[in-house]
Amino acid sequence: MANSSRISGFFRLSPAERRHIIVDWVAVSPEQRATLEAVLAEPGGLGLTQADKMVENVVGTYALPLGIATNFVVNGQDVLIPMVIEEPSVVAGASFAAKLARAGGGFHAETTEPSMIGQIQVLDLDDPGAAAEKLLAQRARLIDLANRTDPVVVSLRGGARDLEVRAIPQSPAGPMLVAHLIYDCRDAMGANMVNTACEALAPLVEEITGGRVNLRILSNLADRRLARARCVIPARALDINENKPGFSEKPGLSMPGELVAERIVEAYALAAVDPYRAATHNKGIMNGIDAVVIATGNDWRAVEAGAHAYAARDGQYRSLSTWSLSPDGALVGSLELPLAVGTVGGATRVHPVARAALQILGVSRARDLAAIIASVGLAQNLAALRALATEGIQRGHMALHARQVAVAAGAMGDEVDRLAAAMVAERTIRTDRAAELLAELRQETEYT
């Protein structure tokens, strides 16, 4: 296994050459090599037979690009990051930001216990406060019953941890009570085990409270299952040098790193106070997070729901990350959000590419996966802020977007890059113009 995720020139290689590097990174035996190579080479990576068992009414599968972000160091370990995403610039942005963070030792990430919350809603109560007290008095009995629903997770030292109860005096359906079952899901995302436990508890909750249970379901505001990432980037690593343009700068742009760091902090400041900016700022974070969540077969809607609810936890929707300057001028970034992801169960083990993605990441524990994902989110945020606070993102973005437009206009093989370059040169990236330029290009090729 190679030991550095810093693979220079990776982006210049062909997909097959990149795949060989990734297979070398992971595989030890010839059999493992062959399997991984075959899974990654298979377009879409998911057979129809498997797909037909995953959801209903299947008629086909839908493929998205799987890219690998390089340069990441998380908690002292080099990691390569599989990312599934349709948007250009995201994989390149993450890799570039990881290179910057590497100059300060990479990302440091930690997670809380992998505990989820299951909600049980109780209605038709004369006195919700008194019912809450009765439930709390039977807490141990309820936790014990919840733990009988999944002996496997209990044997792995997970399972029900606690029961919390809240009386809600007023709601559109009158007064009610909500019980929260705190449940450590270990390496699973846990929706199934938590929902099963909540459903099992419902009759006993009704017996104890004398009320009627309605909802019994996991909460996606997984604020007991947080991941935090942090990075410190020396100002000099942020220098923009006109002779060595990095990701997204035009040649000729120069800025000292101290200034770049200040501009990034200013850019963050708007997201700290303004929900209009915070939504976009957090979307940039989720570009990185979702891409890894999807690559590993996890439920990205659950992660999105948790992230945005957490961003609004004090009543105002805010940035999930913070950026500041250290006394010596280094740029310090941090990110905290709920990350309900698993390494067992669901599509993580069923989808062959999701299994391959976990192998590439080298993780088997959900908490290690969450730590890496939080680091990718912070990297993605840094890439966006740095580009926005200096040159702006459109030039770099449009260069990549031009390739998609070229493909949409029918370009094939090396026509794609030639057509994209022609559109970028004349600053017109539209399918109608792409079609005209493609016709011209083909005519030229015919006569030369």
Q: Point out the residues that are catalytic.
A: 87, 283, 299, 397
Q: Which residues pair with 231 in a beta bridge?
A: 333
Q: Which stretch binds ligand MEV (CB under 6 A): 144-152, 203-211, 277-285, 323-331?
A: 277-285
Nearest to 181 by CA among 212, 207, 149: 149
Q: Site for ligand MEV (CB under 6 A): which residue of 134, 212, 263, 283?
A: 283
Q: Site for ligand MEV (CB under 6 A): which residue of 257, 284, 306, 377?
A: 284
Does residue 6 bind ligand MEV (CB under 6 A)?
A: no
CB of 152 to ligand MEV, least distance (A): 40
The CA distance from 427 to 424, in Å, is 5
Give the x-and-dash track for 364-393 against ligand MEV (CB under 6 A): --------------------x---x----x
Q: Which stretch binds ligand MEV (CB under 6 A): 37-45, 152-160, 283-291, 351-359?
A: 283-291
CA separation, residue 176 to residues 116, 135, 194, 213, 365 (Å): 22, 13, 21, 10, 38
Alpha helices (H) in 103-233, listed in sequence order: 128-137, 139-147, 151-155, 191-209
| Residue closest to ligand MEV (Cβ) | 284
Amino acid at 419: L
Q: Which stretch binds ligand MEV (CB under 6 A): 13-21, 122-130, 281-289, 346-354?
A: 281-289
The CA distance from 86 to 108, in Å, is 28
Q: Which stretch binds ligand MEV (CB under 6 A): 158-166, 169-177, 216-224, 279-287?
A: 279-287
Contact 201, 181 (CB under 8 A): yes
For ligand MEV, which is the closer residue by CB, 33 or 283? 283
Pairing assessment for the beta strands 226-233 and 321-325 based on DSSP bridges: unpaired
For ligand MEV, which is the closer residue by CB, 287 or 348? 287
Amino acid at 437: L
- 55: which 2 tokens? 């959801």
For ligand MEV, which is the closer residue by CB, 271 or 356? 271
CB of 280 to ligand MEV, least distance (A): 4
Indicate the Cα dihedral angle 426, 431, 436, 442, nearest 10°: 100
Give the x-and-dash track for 50-89 against ligand MEV (CB under 6 A): -------------------------------------x--
Percent helix, strand, coil in the chain, to 5, is 50, 20, 30
Does residue 280 bind ligand MEV (CB under 6 A)?
A: yes
For ligand MEV, which is the closer residue by CB, 94 or 339? 94
Count CA atoms within 13 Å of residue 5 on its CB side: 25
CB of 120 to ligand MEV, least distance (A): 38
CB of 35 to ligand MEV, least distance (A): 34
CB of 276 to ligand MEV, least distance (A): 11
CB of 376 to ligand MEV, least distance (A): 14
Site for ligand MEV in 337-356 (CB under 6 A): none
Longest dimension (CA), the chain: 88
Give one DSSP letter per residue of 101-125, joined into a string: HHTTT-BEEEE---EEEEEEEEES-
Contact 34, 130 (CB under 8 A): no
* Size of site (CB under 6 A) for ligand MEV: 9
Nearest to 259 by CA among 400, 385, 130, 390: 390
Burial bucket for residue 43 (CB in 10 Å: 0-12, 13-18, 19+) = exposed
Q: Which stretch binds ligand MEV (CB under 6 A): 8-16, 231-239, 278-286, 311-319?
A: 278-286
For ligand MEV, which is the closer residue by CB, 221 or 285? 285
CB of 260 to ligand MEV, least distance (A): 15
For ligand MEV, which is the closer residue by CB, 194 or 384? 384
Give the x-and-dash track for 391-420 against ligand MEV (CB under 6 A): --x---------------------------
Amino acid at 87: E
Three-state SS for 243? coil
Interface positions with ligand MEV (CB under 6 A): 87, 280-281, 283-284, 287, 384, 388, 393
